[in-house]
Amino acid sequence: MLGLMQDWPLLSYKIIDHAAIHHGTRKVISRSVEGPIHTTTYADIRARSLKVAKRLDQEGIRLGDRVATLAWNTWRHLEAWYGILGIGAVYHTVNPRLFPDQIAWIVNHAEDRIMITDLTFVPILEKIASKLATIERYVILTDGAHMPQTSLKNAIAYEDWIGSVDGDFEWRFFDENTAAGMCYTSGTTGNPKGVLYSHRSNVLHSLVASAPDMLGISSRDVVLPVVPMFHANGWSLALTTPMMGATMVMPGAKLDGASIYELLNDFKVTVTAAVPTVWLMLLQFLESSGSKLPYLKKVVIGGSACPRAMTQKFQDNYGVEVMHAWGMTEMSPLGTVCTLKPDYADLSGEARLDIQQKQGHAPFGVEMKITDDHGREVPWDGKTFGRLKVRGPSVARAYFKEAESAIDKDGFFDTGDVATMDPHGYMQITDRSKDVIKSGGEWISSIDLENLAVGHPKVAEAAVIGVPHPKWDERPLLVVVLKKEQTATKDEILAFMQGKIAKWWMPDDVVFVDEIPHTATGKIQKMTLRDQFKGYILPTAEAAE
């Protein structure tokens, strides 16, 4: 027997309808790519999204067609997303930090028909346009006055493009499982893989992400998504924030410490989110300028492990609660958030920080398990490492155009992360399965060592890789970038780490470099680093031979 409730498909564009009707005057404030601050409302965003939809429809864009966006977080990008969603086309966010050839590969693989882009990226696109065979038109997110001379095919300024139609249009109606968005994984090896979100997965994910024990966003919040919309579905903030009716502040192209601080302060931002690199820049700015953060309540930090020192600084020096989060492109992206359940809520000082180092607990809709190499589940004791596997309505089951399923026979997706689970369900990433250092049959977490090393006051960034060793198979090599105008010795760094980790985890050597390579999403590129140090002979290896 079926239930007798209404069939109300979970279509992502209903989010902007809700925001416009129930929170219509709430503001969306952006730093425009042209420079000045721009302010609009959810009601206006919806009205202009309808124009985007009408114009796309006129151009012959149909259900399932891909429309690329290569753009910063601004109100125009938001309008483009909802316009695309409203006709059942697919927003394909392209990461501008990829190499131009990778961008071309992704656009061709996705068979994008229209490219919506910012002024910033016109020169890159002009260089690769001859390779982008499927693109029929380039829409530049600006007005006629700022429109550059360009060789891009059928290029038009966004304001002229939508200005040519009225907003008299109705969203299309289709199945909630229809594709909504697309984002290629940053993959450090091989070709990128396309993750294809559905309207249903987006809506369910946004509902879950906003819950009090997750990001906890309400209509009284002012949310600044520093994380770009082209990173892992923009951490879904372009959907979750309007769904909750919170004010939205969009940073545009300027993500440096001073620019982010200006937005946090001028617009009284209460919740913000980004990768650790962004927060490192902000903290450096705060320290050098002596500024405070009187309005900010919560900072969501994820994408890579949040160093303990960062959590401590935000909380102790600025009174801002750190919410460590973990997820991945394939998970829409939220997997866990480290908010404190009653079991840990009363902890303070170092004990509280110990828990906050963990990536957190899963919301409803994310099932997790950790297994050994034979697929057997290992205990949730907070110590035993295992491969982290996940299942849920907003987790990928396959990649775009790949025949093979991405899940096992029980429906679980292997995240490629190695983690522990504690008895209260808190997950802690120990490493990427391919980055963990295998020393004498035991595993050493490169992430733990990196976190510890960046706690040294002179260290700006640290990376640890496994280097072949004749006796132990692999041993850790610590690669360090020092803060500006600092000098340090290997012994100084090692002395700082001594006693804070098991003796056999201590790096066998420390090298100082000017720069550590990063992927387009800001993660340390361990593959490149391993290549860079190929053939490196550890002092301990010489001794062992």
Q: In what order do the strands lie in the sheet with 334-337?
A: 37-41, 27-31, 247-250, 222-225, 271-274, 298-301, 321-327, 334-337
Q: What character string, x for contact with ligand AMP (CB under 6 A) and - otherwise, covers 428-447?
A: -x--x---------------
Q: Residue 189: how many CB atoms within 10 A of its CB? A: 6
Nearer to ligand AMP, 234 or 302 (CB): 302
Beta bridge pairs of residue 147: none
Q: Strand 27-31 relative to strand 247-250: parallel, antiparallel, unpaired?
A: parallel
- Angle formed at CA 240 by CA 234 and CA 243, multiple of 5 degrees: 145
- Which residue stretch of 237-245, 299-307, 308-316, 392-400 sits at the interface with ligand AMP (rule: CB under 6 A)? 299-307
Angle, CA of 115, 117 and 118, to the nearest 5°: 170
| x/- map, 152-191, ligand AMP, by CB under 6 A | ---------------------------------xx-----
Which listed range, 36-44, 303-311, 464-472, 491-499, lies at the site for ligand AMP (CB under 6 A)? Answer: 303-311
Residue with smaller CB distance to ligand AMP, 89 or 520: 520
| Least distance in angstroms from the C-beta of 191 to ligand AMP | 15
The dihedrals phi and psi of 43, each to the nearest 5 degrees, come to: -60, -40
35: exposed, middle or buried (C-beta count within 10 Å: 0-12, 13-18, 19+)? exposed
Q: Count the site residues for ligand AMP by CB under 6 A.
A: 20
Span interacting with ligand AMP, options 56-64, 94-102, 319-327, 525-533, rule CB under 6 A: 319-327
* Alpha helices by DSSP H, 120-210: 122-128, 158-163, 199-209
328 binds ligand AMP (CB under 6 A): yes
Residues 6+ apart with CB under 8 A from 507: 449, 464, 475, 476, 477, 478, 494, 497
User: Locate tokens 């049959």: which residue?
Assistant: 441
> Does residue 89 contact residue 64 with C-beta atoms inside 8 Å?
yes
Q: Is 394 in the site for ligand AMP (CB under 6 A)?
A: no
Nearer residue to ligand AMP within complex by CB, 191 or 289: 191
User: Is residue 197 part of the contact set for ligand AMP (CB under 6 A)?
Assistant: no
Residues noted as catalytic = 185, 330, 438, 443
Min separation Cβ 154 and ligand AMP, Å: 32
Number of other CB atoms surrounding residue 5 within 10 Å: 6
Q: Which of 159, 417, 448, 508 binds ligand AMP (CB under 6 A)?
A: 417
Site for ligand AMP in 74-103 (CB under 6 A): none
415: contact with ligand AMP by CB under 6 A: yes
Measured CA to CA, the distance from residue 458 to residue 490 in angstroms comes to 12
* Nearer CB in complex with ligand AMP: 33/421: 421
Give yes or no for residue 261 binding ligand AMP (CB under 6 A): no
Give the interface with ligand AMP as residue ranges (CB under 6 A).
185-186, 232, 302-305, 324-326, 328-329, 333, 359, 415-417, 429, 432, 521
